Structure 1
Amino acid sequence: MLGPSILLAAAVFAPELLATPIARSSYAVKETHYVPRRWTQKGRAPKNQMLALQIGVKQGDFNELERHLYEVSDPSHSRYGQHLSHEEVNALVAPDDEALDLVHEWLLSSGVKNFVYSPSKDWINIRISVDEAEKLLATEYSIYIHEDGTEMARTTKWSLPSHLHKHIDTVQPTTSFMRTRGHSSFVNPKPLNLSEIYQPPGYVPPTDPVIAAACSINGTTPTCFKTLYKTVGYEQKSCGENQIGFNNFLNEVPIRPDAKIFLDKYAPSASKGAYEYKFVSIDGGPQQDNGSSPTQLAKGTNKEANLDVQTILGMTYPMPVTAFTTGGQPPQIPDVAAGDPPGNEPYLVWVNYILAQKALPQVISTSYGDDEQTVPIEYAKRVCASFAQLGARGISLLFSSGDGGAGNAAGQNAEECISNDGKNTTKFLPSFPAGCPFVTTVGATQGFQPEVAAYRPAKSLGPDGTLHGYYASGSGFSEYFSRPKYQEDAVNSYLHKVGDLHKGLFNPAGRGYPDLSAQGLYFQFVWNSTNSVISGTSASSPLMASILALVNDALIASGKPALGFLNPWLYKKGYKGFTDILDGGNGGCNTTGFPVTKDWDAVTGWGTPIFPEIVKLAGAKI
C-alpha cells in the first residue's frame, strides 16, 4: 500500500530559521464559500481532530505549460505528439523561490516544521490538528453533515497573511464540500414482469442482422459494443507497452470473482484477466482478491468498480489494466481519539500521486463527480491544472458527464437546481471535473439503429425487474471555466441553433460538455455473483476509454505516439470518426433540457466511436 509520504515525496524537515527572516503581514480573508444545499452545520469540530492540509503554492509558469499542451495536442502543429516528460512538466510548474521561501517562513513561524512536497513542490502537505489549523488560517472549523449521513470538518471562510495571497492558490480541506459520487443507477432486482419492461419511446430493433444478433435493449454486452463500434477482429500488437487504467473512490474496489463470472459468460477469451489486472492503492485505498464482504454487500459497495473492470476487460484484454483505488472518503464518525484525519476530497490525493509517477497508463477513465458548485473555484482550477499536466505528458483522461440531464439533478424536480450563490438562484448545475477543459467528458446513448441520447423517466421497470429511477445523460456549461479555443466554433454553432432556449439557466460562455458519448443504458454486469444490469455515464466512460486504448495500440504499433490530450485533435479532425447522434434529449430541472442536434451538441458531444475511422484519422493502420 502506498501512503502519502510515497504518494508525493519524502518528508522534508525545514530548518528552524531562515537565513533572512521575513516580516509577517496582517491576515486578510483569502476565500469564502457558501455551504451547499443538503449540508447542515452540526457543531464545532473537535480541537484535537487531525487534518491533512494540502497547500497549493502558485505554479511558476502554468501559461507556458498550457502552450506546450496545446502545441503537442494540435494535429496541425509541427510538435503534435511530442509529449513532455515528467521532468519537463515539473520544471514548468515549479513555484519560484520567493513563493516557497515566504510560505516556508509562514509555516515555520506558526510552528509547522514537517512538510511533504509534490514532485514540483507546487503542493505542500502538512498534518496538524483543527486547533492548529484554525490558528494558521484564522478560521473556525465545524462538523457539517450531509443528508445522507456523510460528515466533514469544513469551514466557510479562511484567511492568510496578506503578502501570501498571491503565492497560495488554495488550502484544503477547508471550503470544499465535494462528495465524489458515482454516475450509475442500480438497485437490487425484483421479480421480472416482462409486460412492463421500459423501452425508449420510438425504439426499433436493429435491422442489421449482425447488430441484431449481438445487441439487445434489455442488456448490452462486450459482444454488442465490439460489433456496434467495429472493434471485432482487431488483434492487439502493443499490449505490453500500451495500457489502460480506471479510478475507484468511496471505498469501491473491483471484485475478481465477480469479474470472472462475467467474463466466463460474456467474453470467455478474457477470463484470465479477472485475476491479472493490477491494483494500485493510494492513501489507504482498498484492494482485495476475494468476494465482497457482508458489510460491503449490505452497503451495496463495489457495483461501480465492478462495472468499470468488467467493461474494460471485456473490451481490451489482454491489454494490462490498472485499478487505482484512492482512500479519502470522509468517515461517518470521525475517530478523534485515534488522531485520524478526515478524508480529503480524493481527486487531489489521486492526481498528486499520479503526477509523481513516471510510467502511467496512456488512458485513464473516471466515473465519479459532483456538482461544480460544491468546490471553491480556486481549488477546482488547481485540480484542473493538474489534469493539464497529465495531458502534456500524453495521458488521455476521460470523465463521465453525470446522470442528471441538463441540471445534474436527481430528477426533473426544479427544486434540485439551486445555485450555491447565497441567493438561491435557479440554474442548471454543471458537474466537476466534467467541466474542466483539460479532460475528455463522455455522455451516454441508448438504442442501436440509430443510437439516441440516453434518457429514462422515473419509475421505469428495467430488464432485470428493478424499478429504476430517472436517468438522463449529463450535460452542461461550466460556470468556472471559460470555453476553450478548441471548441469555439462547434459550441458557437450549437448555441446559434439553440437560440434563447433556457436563457439565464446556464453560462453560454462556459466550457461545454460532453465531448463524446457511448452506450450507457442497461449494461450486463455481475455483482455478488449475480447477473444484473446497470446504467449510467459511469458505463459510457470506461467503454469509450477502452475504444481509445485500442486506438493507442494501433498508433504505438505504427511507431506513433499515443493520442494524449484528445480534445484539440477531436474538435479539429477526429470528430469525423464518430457517428453523429441526431435524436433524443435529456431534460433536467423540470425543463426539456438541451436538444440533440447535427454536429456537436451539449448532450452527446460529437457522438459515438467508429473504431476503424478513428484509427485512420489518427494516422495508424489496423
Structure 2
Amino acid sequence: PRVPAGKYLTLEQLRDLVRPSPATLVTVLKWLRSHGVEDCRSVATLDFLECGMAASTAERLLPGAEFHRYVKGQRSVVRSPQPYSVPEELAEHVDFGIGGLHRFPAERSAVSRAWAKEGMESRGQRAAFHLGVMPSVIRKRYNMTKGDIGLLPNNSQACAQFLEQYFHQADLAVFMKLFGSSFAHRTEVDRVVGHQGQGRAGLEASLDVEYIMSTGANISTWVFSNAGRHESQEPFLAWLLLLSNMSALPWVHSVSYGDDEDSLSQVYLQRVNVEFMKAAARGLTVLFASGDDGAGCEEGGRGGNHGPFRSGRAYPDLAALSDNYWVVTNRLPLPWVSGTSASTPVVAGMLALINDRRLQLGQPPLGFLNPAL
C-alpha cells in the first residue's frame, strides 16, 4: 500500500506491513531446527533471517550443495560449485533464497570513491588562482549564512562507511579548528554504530564526516561503520538490515560508495531494493554518490544502470561542488581531494538542515526525496 506523503511508518508499523505469515515462520523454523540449526537472528521486521552453521550442516540443509574452500593469494572463500535445492514446501515461503553460495568475488579491487590528485601539473595555470574548496567556499556558494545551522536536539544525520574506512574524532576537531571559524559547529560525532577500527583514518571516511558536519552544521551526526564485505564489495544489505533493527534513526543518510550491478546476483539486488523501500516508508532520506563515471555505462552498458538513459530520466538527481576539497586525515590537512563522494555529504547536510527547519514548524522530514525533486 502507498504511504501518504509525510505520513511515515514507525518500525512497529513497518513490521506489521512486511512481516511473514505465521505459516511461513513455522515452516522455515521447523526446517532449520530439523537440521539442528539454532543459531539464527531475525531483524525487527521479522522478514529476514541470518543463521550460522557448519558447511557440513549446510550441505544436509541444502541438498545438492557441495562446499569447497577456494584460495587465491591471501584470500579464501567457501563456495559450492553445484546447485542446491530446498524442500518443495518451502518454495512459497522463501523470497531472497540463500546468499553467498555460488558467486565468486569480483576481480576488481574495491576502492573508496574519493581520490586525491598526485600533483598539480595537470591543473596548469589555473592552480595559482584556486586555493581549493573548504566549508567557507561551499557555504558562500550556496548562500548559507551564520544562521543556517541546526537548532533542534532531536534532529540528526548520518554517514555510512564501508571497505575498512574509519574516521578519527581528532581529525574532525583539527578540521573544524582550521575551517570552521565562520559558523557554529560540532567537533565530535555523537554516535558510531558498528565496528570503529583503530589504525589509520581513511580519506573517504574523513571527507564524509567533515563535510556533512559543515553544511549540516551543529546537527547531531552518526556514523554507521560496516567492517565486513559482500563479494569483496560494500555489504549494503548488512547495513540496511542494521537500520531495520533500530527504531530511532537519523533522518538523512549519506553514502559515498557504490557497486557494479552486473557483479551481483539479481536476488541480492532485489532484496536490497526491498530494504530501500522499507527505509523510505519510515521517512529516511538516503543519498548515494553517483560515481565519477555517471551511470557507469562502460563496455556498451553492460550493467543495469543503462535504464535512466532509456527512460530519459536525468542522472544524477542532484549535483554540487566535487573538486579540489581540503580534508584533514590522520591529523594532516590534505588538499585536492575530489569525487562525487565529496558532493554527496555536502548535499546531505543541506537536507538535514532543511529537515531541522521543517521539524521546527511541526512538519514531517523530507523523507524519500525523488517525488519532491
Alignment match of 2:28 (pick from 82, 89, 103): 103
Matched, 1:367 2:294: no
Q: Which residue number in structure 2 is paired with residue 321 of structure 1?
A: 221
TM-score, normalization: structure 1? 0.54
Structure with bigger helix share is 2
Residues 238 and 556 of structure 1 are in contact (CA less than 8 Å); yes or no, is this contact kept in structure 2? no
Amino acid corresponding to residue 277 of structure 1 in structure 2: V
2:115 partner SS: coil
Matched, 1:560 2:363: yes
Residues 246 and 542 of structure 1 are in contact (CA less than 8 Å); yes or no, is this contact kept in structure 2? yes
Amino acid corresponding to residue 114 of structure 2 in structure 1: S
Q: Structure 2 unaligned runs (5+)?
A: none
2:320 partner SS: strand
Q: Which residue number in structure 2 is paired with residue 248 of structure 1?
A: 161
Residues 141 and 153 of structure 1 are in contact (CA less than 8 Å); yes or no, is this contact kept in structure 2? yes
2:59 partner SS: helix
| Cα separation, 2, equivalents of 1:123 and 1:91 | 14
Q: In structure 2, do the counterparts of structure 1 residues 545 and 344 end up closer, same or farther at CA, with 3 Å as the change threshold?
A: closer
Matched, 1:277 2:189: yes
Alignment match of 1:528 (pick from 308, 311, 330): 330
Q: Which residue number in structure 1 is paired with residue 265 of structure 2?
A: 376
Residues 191 and 223 of structure 2 are in contact (CA less than 8 Å); yes or no, is this contact kept in structure 1? yes
Structure with bigger strand share is 1
Q: 1:386 offset after TM fit, Å?
A: 0.9
**What are the Cα deviations for residues 397-451 of structure 1, in whole angstroms up to 9, with x where unaligned?**
1111122344365xxxxxxx3xxxxxxxx53435xxxxxxxxxxxxxxxxxxxxx
Question: How many residue pairs end up in the alignment?
Answer: 366
Matched, 1:93 2:34: no
Q: 1:81 offset after TM fit, Å?
A: 0.8
Mapping 1:487-502, distance limit 5 Å: none
Q: 1:565 offset after TM fit, Å?
A: 0.7
**What are the Cα deviations for residues 319-360 of structure 1, in whole angstroms up to 9, with x where unaligned?**
101011122137xxxxxxxxxxx9996222221121111111
Q: 1:151 offset after TM fit, Å?
A: 4.3
Structure 1's consecutive aligned runs of 4 or more residues displaced over 6 angstroms after TM superposition are none
Q: Which residue number in structure 2 is paired with residue 387 of structure 1?
A: 276
Q: Which residue number in structure 1 is paired with residue 319 of structure 2?
A: 517
**What are the Cα deviations for residues 244-302 of structure 1, in whole angstroms up to 9, with x where unaligned?**
1001112211112222222222113669733x2123232xx2256xxxx3xx3xxxx51
Query: Identity over aligned residues, as a percent?
Result: 30
Matched, 1:549 2:361: no
Q: Which residue number in structure 1 is paired with residue 133 of structure 2?
A: 220
Matched, 1:539 2:342: yes
Q: 1:115 offset after TM fit, Å?
A: 2.2
Greater CA deviation, 389-398 or 135-144?
135-144
Q: 1:313 offset after TM fit, Å?
A: 1.7
Mapping 1:210-359, distance limit 5 Å: 217=130, 219-236=132-149, 238-268=151-181, 273-274=186-187, 276-282=188-194, 285-287=195-197, 293=199, 296=200, 302-329=202-229, 346-359=235-248
| Cα separation, 1, equivalents of 2:234 and 2:102 | 11
Residues 59 and 66 of structure 2 are in contact (CA less than 8 Å); yes or no, is this contact kept in structure 1? yes
Matched, 1:427 2:274: no
Name which one, 1 or 2, has greater alpha-carbon Rg. 1
Q: Structure 1 unaligned runs (5+)?
A: 1-63, 73-79, 206-215, 331-341, 410-416, 418-425, 431-475, 479-490, 496-507, 571-622
Amino acid corresponding to residue 97 of structure 1 in structure 2: P
Residues 150 and 353 of structure 2 are in contact (CA less than 8 Å); yes or no, is this contact kept in structure 1? no
Amino acid corresponding to residue 268 of structure 2 in structure 1: Y
Q: 1:88 offset after TM fit, Å?
A: 0.7
Q: 1:377 offset after TM fit, Å?
A: 1.0
2:365 partner SS: coil
Q: Which residue number in structure 2 is paired with residue 163 of structure 1?
A: 89
Q: In structure 2, do the counterparts of structure 1 residues 238 and 90 end up closer, same or farther at CA, with 3 Å as the change threshold?
A: farther
TM-score, normalization: structure 2? 0.87
Residues 212 and 346 of structure 2 are in contact (CA less than 8 Å); yes or no, is this contact kept in structure 1? yes
| Cα separation, 1, equivalents of 2:133 and 2:218 | 21
Once superposed, what is the RMSD of the aligned Cα atoms? 3.0
| Cα separation, 1, equivalents of 2:261 and 2:281 | 24
Amino acid corresponding to residue 292 of structure 2 in structure 1: D
| Cα separation, 2, equivalents of 1:326 and 1:109 | 33
Residues 242 and 361 of structure 1 are in contact (CA less than 8 Å); yes or no, is this contact kept in structure 2? yes
Residues 144 and 154 of structure 1 are in contact (CA less than 8 Å); yes or no, is this contact kept in structure 2? yes
Q: Which residue number in structure 2 is paired with residue 34 of structure 1?
A: none
Residues 142 and 155 of structure 1 are in contact (CA less than 8 Å); yes or no, is this contact kept in structure 2? yes
